[in-house]
Amino acid sequence: MFIIILLESGMAKNNKMTVEKLANMVANGFSNMATKDDVTEIRADIAIVRHDMKSMERKLVSEIESAKEETKTLEEVDIRGLQHRVSVLEKDVKQIKHKA
């Protein structure tokens, strides 16, 4: 089937495609393919990257949660401070009303 495709595609003009040329073409095609060792190395690299990403994700989630808690605490402190200031102002206004 491969030889028929070569003949039909014009790569074998005038029937000059020899078995040697065909063998060289096939060998060249396979010479650039990854080996099992290459694939194993790539898989190991991917596993390392996945592990690093999961570690980074856990760290980021922890930092986000910490930032949320800190923001909540600051908001509570601000609200308490504002409530106190309003309370003081309300007392001052009542005192001014009673004097008037």
For 38-73, write each residue's pLDDT tens digit.
999 999 999 999 999 999 999 999 999 999 999 999
Q: What is the domain extent for residue 29?
A: 1-33
Is 3 domain-assigned? yes
Report the alpha-carbon distance of residue 2 to residue 13 in Å, rounded: 15
Q: CA-to-CA distance for 43 and 10, rounded, in angstroms?
A: 40
84 within a domain of the structure (yes/no): no
60 within some domain: no
pTM comes to 0.50
Q: Which residue has the higher pLDDT, 91 or 26?
A: 91
